[in-house]
Structure 1
Amino acid sequence: MKNSIAERVGDFLKGYPPFNMLSNKTLLKIATEVTITYLEKGDTIFKKDDTWHDSFYIVRNGAISLYYSNGDVKDIMNIHDTGDLFGLRPLITKEPYKLTATANEESIVYAVPISVFQSETDNNTKVQKYLITAFASNAFDPYTEEEAGKIFVDYLPNTSQDMVNFQTANYTKSPITCSTESSLKDAAKKMSAHKIGCIVVVDDEKKPVGIITNSDIKNKIATGLFPIETPVTNIMNSPVITAKKGLTIADGQLQMIKRSIGHLCITKDGTDNSKLIGVLTHHDVLVNLGNNPTVILKEIKRAKRTKKLRAARLKGNVLLKSYIEQNIPITHIINVISQINDAVTIRAVELALKKMPTAPPVTFSWLALGSQGRREQLLFTDQDNALVFDDVPEEQYEKTQTYFLKLAKLVTKSLNKIGFEYCEADMMASNPEWCKSLTEWKNQFTNWILSPDEKAVLLSSIFFDYNRVYGDKQLVDDLTNTIFSTLEKTDLFYKFLGRDAVKSPTPLGFFKQFLVEQNGDQKELFNIKSRALMPLIDAARLLILSKQISGVNNTSERFEKLAELEPNNKELHESCSYAFKALSKFKTKQGLLGTNSGKFIDLETLTKEEKLKLRRCFKPIQKIQEVLKIRFDLKNFM
């Protein structure tokens, strides 16, 4: 007789990793032993420091929150929904739980017995690798380190140099080799032709048996110890020191130091008894270490030409790709790339000033706007910037503005050559509208706030996220003080911002399908920026402005600050912060894959798991928009 419940459980499980790596027969055996648990909102599955259970869990319906607790302090680490695994600790390491798991809403979870699962999957390396990776990635999850900063902290490198050390080393693929029957003369000719410093001696099965370097030729041939026609086997270093692909830069460097060598042979299984697939040299290690934030920032500061600035910024893209691949926390990635972007802008301004015929007539500040102003710019995007200069007598205004417009044109031209496109709407400091004196800027913002209209709201979404990159801090502080004192005089501006913030509905339709573009070149594509990221960006901006909080521009940091200020909405604000970071990472990955902005996504290219992860990030959008509608009384203002 068929077990219909087990079959239904199996049908569900096979749609998610690692269960989709199992045969139907194995899956049914596991499904037969699964326990189904219904949970009301707030019900607890396990608590921090509880003895490990004999099962791990997968969410069938609903959502499960995992949070870290320390006394009365509770920090949400993650929110798991349909298809997500949690409670893997007893499967990997028999230790008490580090987090507490509770139902975030009415939920159903499947408890998978560990003993049954292990007996059926012990010989399945794919499953084992997936589970270890899943457990490790939870340990490196943005919430774990970035939100709480208290768990698994020992596993995360703390400095930019450490981050580089823990990246996978880039080694030379398809290395030049010679056979054991070769003469040293033939090997040396190969080395000369390919301009390489070493050659690996391999047997008939392409297994490495020795290595010859320039030093060996100098010390053993040039000194007359061996004739040039000697077999390579007479002077090669053997046995070779091997490693497998995936080793970190730190591991590679450590092995070289420990064994006093300059080369590691990379083989299929990491031993000298398998095929050679690459060589890691001391030079490769130095190159890897060179592509880190510290070195890139030094290159930027020393650059004397735009060409050098572009080369340094392109290294930032390589670093970004590497960080994403290494699953480095997104907050760290954003901080690093933001520093690089700001450094590039600062140097572009400095170089432009050197080209000006005279020094600036008055003090000024260069402002980054939009995503760079929020310190969220990861990929190359178009420029959004402005310039504010100190007040001058009316008769000197035109001349002073002309000076700074000329300076701004040099800067924006340089940024364009580096890779930041000109803004199509001309929202740049080279436009007289965005290059003004302090008083003119104060008047501009005052007008936007006290007499809001559609244009004012549109511009506010760019200009209210400014960040001083270069120049006089006092000018920007004065401008900020004026903005917040003006905001106290009206509530109407908040309503306009609120209406704009809720105009984009939740990214899912009535039947939970993604809302895609309906026409144009992007037809059937999903706009992750306008439908998912912008609603969170707009909501965070509005709420933080209404709290009269300055100096917090980053969207995730704004939500984190709001979580502090509004304990009753802490869970929602934290989920918004997490969703924004996860969406930003997803957009960046898509942009790197398609070498574009990542803004439009072809949903057909996504896996079922990726679509589920996206859907999970959409949950807070509708909730935060409902908060805005109520708080700013928008229902009669739409």
Structure 2
Amino acid sequence: MKNTISSRVADFLKNYPPFNEMKFEDLERLSEEVSILYKIKESVIFEQGEAPHSHFYVVHKGAAVLRKKPDNDIVDLCDEGDIFGLRPLIANENYEMEARAYEESIFYTIPITTFRPYTQKYSEIGNFLIESFASNMRNPYARSHKDKLLAHTSIGNSNTNSGLLDLQSVHYSKKLIACGENSSIKTIAATMTEKKVGAMLIVKGKLPIGIITDKDIRNKVATGQFPITAKAKEIMSAPVITYPVKMTITQAQMAMMKSGISHLCLTEDGTDNTKALGILSKHDIMLELGNNPGVLMKAIKRAGKFKKIKTIRRSVQNLLKGYLDQNIPLTLTSKIIAELNDACVKQVIAIALKKIKKEPPVKFTWMALGSQGRSEQLLHTDQDNALIFEDVPKHQQEKVKTYFLELSKMVTKGLMHIGYAYCPADMMASNPEWCLSLSEWKNRISHWITNPGPDEVLLSSIFFDYNLVYGTPKLLNELTGHIFTMTEKYPIFFMHLAQGALQNPSPTGFFRQFLVEEDGAHKDFFDVKRRALMPLIDAGRLLALSHQIKAINNTSERFEKLAELEPNNGELFMACSYATKALLKFRTKQGLLHNDSGRFIALDSLSKEEKIKLKRTFKTIKELQELIKIRFKLSNL
């Protein structure tokens, strides 16, 4: 009798290198020896320094994170189809890093003794291993050789644009913070704190003679070696190391590494005989590279103008592109980008509050709606937001609302300035209809739920994907409780919401052909948002509401929670989670490639492999819509 488990394993492995080079009968024989390993989130697969196991690993579902001690830096994240733990077996050495399940995951374990003969039988597999060892990559056949497995490099430190960095000039602040050699340490420390800088240049007749960094103050003053009343010349590092202002990022990095310093003094000719023009810090260089989320987060929080945030958002997009190029799992990528996007919005609100020069009259909550509310807004798209403010007596209502509308208009204008276009349907807090008190919002939602016409269903679909960005969580929690109370009282609303979830047409027609737009500006293009992503998003929202799932707005995470709540449908819901991530990743890549929203795709530009991957998700969508039809009894409407 045929072993169905090994057949399933073989069917999976045949899609990934180097197994795709094997004859299927050999792959089936190999698969008979494969074991299945289930790991919960954060559980250890192997430890750093541990002797190699008798098998290596392939990710079937989920992901594995590889970290290197002592800093515990993330070296790599292995996604579906990726191999890890093989190199130590071939090289006969201990594991150089730790492997853990990044999320609840299933792995295939393949015995090295069973696999080794095939490396000799198939020259392509031997070449794969040789090239992966030589190039230090998990998959040397991956597009553009981006998927690196660097033993000593954490994510984001490898730069895919090193050639550009050799030509790219550094940017530095022209507002030089400097003082004389007789200034007291106390004064210098106070100025550095006020100006939010990590170093003070010491000048004499406008020429640089030394530098004091926060490290100098810690090591020389905080330790008691010098009193806080000491003069700058007593603790400054001198002579100061100087460089010309016209230097590249690569040159600046090399200069800092060579001298073991974190700040460079930039002068007119690169010597200390000409006027100092600025200081360049390691932080400035990291910000230029734009590949460190921690640095970007700090830069966002320091930004005092919308223009500065707009510049940082371009770096966030570069970070996104780098993560996609490196094949970092979308779960991690989405969370990082969402955190950075939310931080940008928070800072815009903080700047607007300063500009308005009046304290908010009552507590309020700023909500992100739609794709940003789901933490799925990876590309620069339009804004959807709303504001809730505390209830006030009727005679104060107009005055309070006027304040929040003024604030909202300032915020939405700021968001437009940093790259979020205005919502074409005006679903923004600057619209009086989307800037309401808590009671007004409760009444609005009650109307949507008790009078579920097409417009009400559409509005609730957008609104119910909300996320707290700024303000007090209490108002949002009260609103969430009201939504669940109302939907429980009026379950017929779910039937209307389900009908709305099925409005988006099927992705394919006869013979599984892609259904494309028949007319308009995007004639013959495939609408990946409307035909593929929206059916999953709408269904995930509907099912999450029906289960009263709180605080989970992301579509893939909603399906993962549903799989936990409904084990009998677990396989389908997990497939929906993976399909959502795959489609979102595909759309994002297309958007970055064509510098647009990635929504409309020219099918003739896709490879056969890309079309196959898209069609795999369509089967999942069809099964999900069938479940919704049955569960919510749509035939009775």
Smaller-chain TM-score bracket: 0.5 to 0.7
Identity of aligned residues (%): 46
**Equivalences for 1:175-194 in 2 at 5 Å?**
none
1:523 aligns with 2:528: no
1:46 aligns with 2:34: yes
Q: What is the CA–CA distance in structure 2 between the aligned matches of 1:369 and 1:612, rounded to whole Å?
A: 32
1:565 aligns with 2:565: yes
Asked whether the equivalents of residues 536 and 555 of structure 1 are also in contact (C-alpha less than 8 Å), the reply is: yes
**Cross-structure match for 1:385:** 385
**Cross-structure match for 1:170:** 162
Q: What is the CA–CA distance in structure 2 between the aligned matches of 1:582 and 1:398, rounded to whole Å?
A: 47
1:359 aligns with 2:359: yes
Structure 2 residue matching 1:516: 3-state secondary structure: coil
Asked whether the equivalents of residues 54 and 89 of structure 2 are also in contact (C-alpha less than 8 Å), the reply is: no
Asked whether the equivalents of residues 373 and 553 of structure 1 are also in contact (C-alpha less than 8 Å), the reply is: yes
Deviation at 1:128, TM superposition (A): 9.2
**Cross-structure match for 2:579:** 579
Structure 2 residue matching 1:578: 3-state secondary structure: helix
1:598 aligns with 2:598: yes
* Compared CA separation, residues 51 and 557, structure 1 to 2 (3 A): same
Gapped runs of 5+ residues in structure 2? 1-13, 38-52, 65-77, 93-104, 110-116, 169-249, 263-281
Deviation at 1:339, TM superposition (A): 1.1
Structure 2 counterpart of 1:118, which letter?
A: S
* Compared CA separation, residues 386 and 116, structure 1 to 2 (3 A): same
* Compared CA separation, residues 89 and 577, structure 1 to 2 (3 A): same
Structure 2 residue matching 1:515: 3-state secondary structure: coil
Deviation at 1:165, TM superposition (A): 2.4
Q: What is the CA–CA distance in structure 1 between the aligned matches of 2:469 and 2:402, rounded to whole Å?
A: 21
Deviation at 1:90, TM superposition (A): 7.3
* Compared CA separation, residues 436 and 376, structure 1 to 2 (3 A): same
Structure 1 residue matching 2:538: 3-state secondary structure: helix
**Equivalences for 1:112-127 in 2 at 5 Å?**
113-118=118-123, 122=127
* Compared CA separation, residues 44 and 610, structure 1 to 2 (3 A): same
Structure 2 residue matching 1:352: 3-state secondary structure: helix
Asked whether the equivalents of residues 338 and 378 of structure 2 are also in contact (C-alpha less than 8 Å), the reply is: yes
**Cross-structure match for 1:623:** 623
* Compared CA separation, residues 101 and 511, structure 1 to 2 (3 A): farther
Q: What is the CA–CA distance in structure 1 between the aligned matches of 2:286 and 2:390, rounded to whole Å?
A: 46
Q: What is the CA–CA distance in structure 1 between the aligned matches of 2:306 and 2:83, rounded to whole Å?
A: 51
* Compared CA separation, residues 588 and 290, structure 1 to 2 (3 A): closer
1:329-348 deviation line (CA, Å, top 9, x unaligned): 21111111111111111111
**Equivalences for 1:290-329 in 2 at 5 Å?**
291-329=291-329
**Cross-structure match for 1:538:** 538
Structure 1 residue matching 2:387: 3-state secondary structure: strand
**Equivalences for 1:307-456 in 2 at 5 Å?**
307-456=307-456
* Compared CA separation, residues 613 and 414, structure 1 to 2 (3 A): same
Asked whether the equivalents of residues 44 and 101 of structure 1 are also in contact (C-alpha less than 8 Å), the reply is: no
Q: What is the CA–CA distance in structure 2 between the aligned matches of 1:344 and 1:78, rounded to whole Å?
A: 29
Structure 1 counterpart of 2:122, which letter?
A: F
Q: What is the CA–CA distance in structure 1 between the aligned matches of 2:160 and 2:466, rounded to whole Å?
A: 36
Deviation at 1:419, TM superposition (A): 0.6
Asked whether the equivalents of residues 34 and 108 of structure 2 are also in contact (C-alpha less than 8 Å), the reply is: yes
Structure 1 residue matching 2:634: 3-state secondary structure: coil
* Compared CA separation, residues 611 and 284, structure 1 to 2 (3 A): farther
Deviation at 1:617, TM superposition (A): 2.2
**Equivalences for 1:164-313 in 2 at 5 Å?**
164-168=156-160, 170-172=162-164, 286=286, 291-313=291-313
Structure 2 residue matching 1:430: 3-state secondary structure: coil
Q: TM-score, normalised by structure 2?
A: 0.65
Asked whether the equivalents of residues 450 and 493 of structure 1 are also in contact (C-alpha less than 8 Å), the reply is: yes
Structure 2 counterpart of 1:593, which letter?
A: L
Q: What is the CA–CA distance in structure 2 between the aligned matches of 1:350 and 1:34, rounded to whole Å?
A: 63
Asked whether the equivalents of residues 156 and 322 of structure 2 are also in contact (C-alpha less than 8 Å), the reply is: no
Q: What is the CA–CA distance in structure 2 between the aligned matches of 1:113 and 1:415, rounded to whole Å?
A: 57
Q: TM-score, normalised by structure 1?
A: 0.65
Structure 2 counterpart of 1:116, which letter?
A: K
Q: What is the CA–CA distance in structure 2 between the aligned matches of 1:305 and 1:609, rounded to whole Å?
A: 45
Q: What is the CA–CA distance in structure 1 between the aligned matches of 2:537 and 2:467, rounded to whole Å?
A: 16
Structure 2 residue matching 1:48: 3-state secondary structure: strand
Deviation at 1:504, TM superposition (A): 2.4
Asked whether the equivalents of residues 590 and 598 of structure 1 are also in contact (C-alpha less than 8 Å), the reply is: yes
Asked whether the equivalents of residues 169 and 288 of structure 1 are also in contact (C-alpha less than 8 Å), the reply is: no
* Compared CA separation, residues 256 and 629, structure 1 to 2 (3 A): same
Deviation at 1:48, TM superposition (A): 3.4
Structure 1 residue matching 2:478: 3-state secondary structure: helix
Q: What is the CA–CA distance in structure 1 between the aligned matches of 2:478 and 2:137, rounded to whole Å?
A: 53
Q: What is the CA–CA distance in structure 2 between the aligned matches of 1:616 and 1:411, rounded to whole Å?
A: 41
Deviation at 1:430, TM superposition (A): 0.7
Comparing 524-533 with 324-333, which one deviates more in the overlay?
Answer: 324-333
Q: What is the CA–CA distance in structure 2 between the aligned matches of 1:402 and 1:342, rounded to whole Å?
A: 25
* Compared CA separation, residues 524 and 46, structure 1 to 2 (3 A): same
Asked whether the equivalents of residues 171 and 284 of structure 1 are also in contact (C-alpha less than 8 Å), the reply is: no
Structure 1 residue matching 2:511: 3-state secondary structure: coil
Asked whether the equivalents of residues 405 and 430 of structure 1 are also in contact (C-alpha less than 8 Å), the reply is: yes
Deviation at 1:51, TM superposition (A): 6.7
Deviation at 1:458, TM superposition (A): 0.4
Deviation at 1:594, TM superposition (A): 0.6
Q: What is the CA–CA distance in structure 1 between the aligned matches of 2:547 and 2:625, rounded to whole Å?
A: 17
Q: What is the CA–CA distance in structure 2 between the aligned matches of 1:116 and 1:259, rounded to whole Å?
A: 52
**Cross-structure match for 2:202:** none
Q: What is the CA–CA distance in structure 1 between the aligned matches of 2:351 and 2:288, rounded to whole Å?
A: 29
**Cross-structure match for 2:484:** 484
Deviation at 1:416, TM superposition (A): 0.4
Query: How big is the alpha-carbon RMSD for the aligned residues of Structure 1 and Structure 2?
Result: 4.6
Q: What is the CA–CA distance in structure 1 between the aligned matches of 2:376 and 2:634, rounded to whole Å?
A: 28
1:116-146 deviation line (CA, Å, top 9, x unaligned): 21279749988999996448989x999xxxx
Asked whether the equivalents of residues 84 and 138 of structure 2 are also in contact (C-alpha less than 8 Å), the reply is: no
Structure 1 residue matching 2:575: 3-state secondary structure: helix
Q: What is the CA–CA distance in structure 1 between the aligned matches of 2:617 and 2:390, rounded to whole Å?
A: 44
Deviation at 1:518, TM superposition (A): 1.0
Q: What is the CA–CA distance in structure 1 between the aligned matches of 2:556 and 2:351, rounded to whole Å?
A: 33
1:299-346 deviation line (CA, Å, top 9, x unaligned): 221222111111111211111111111212211111111111111111
1:354-384 deviation line (CA, Å, top 9, x unaligned): 2225322221111110011111111111010
Structure 1 counterpart of 2:156, which letter?
A: V
Asked whether the equivalents of residues 516 and 527 of structure 1 are also in contact (C-alpha less than 8 Å), the reply is: yes
**Cross-structure match for 1:179:** none
Q: What is the CA–CA distance in structure 1 between the aligned matches of 2:291 and 2:411, rounded to whole Å?
A: 26
**Cross-structure match for 2:502:** 502
**Cross-structure match for 1:459:** 459
Asked whether the equivalents of residues 450 and 493 of structure 2 are also in contact (C-alpha less than 8 Å), the reply is: yes
Q: What is the CA–CA distance in structure 1 between the aligned matches of 2:128 and 2:86, rounded to whole Å?
A: 19
Comparing 252-261 with 559-568, which one deviates more in the overlay?
Answer: 252-261
Query: How many pairs does the alignment contain?
Result: 479
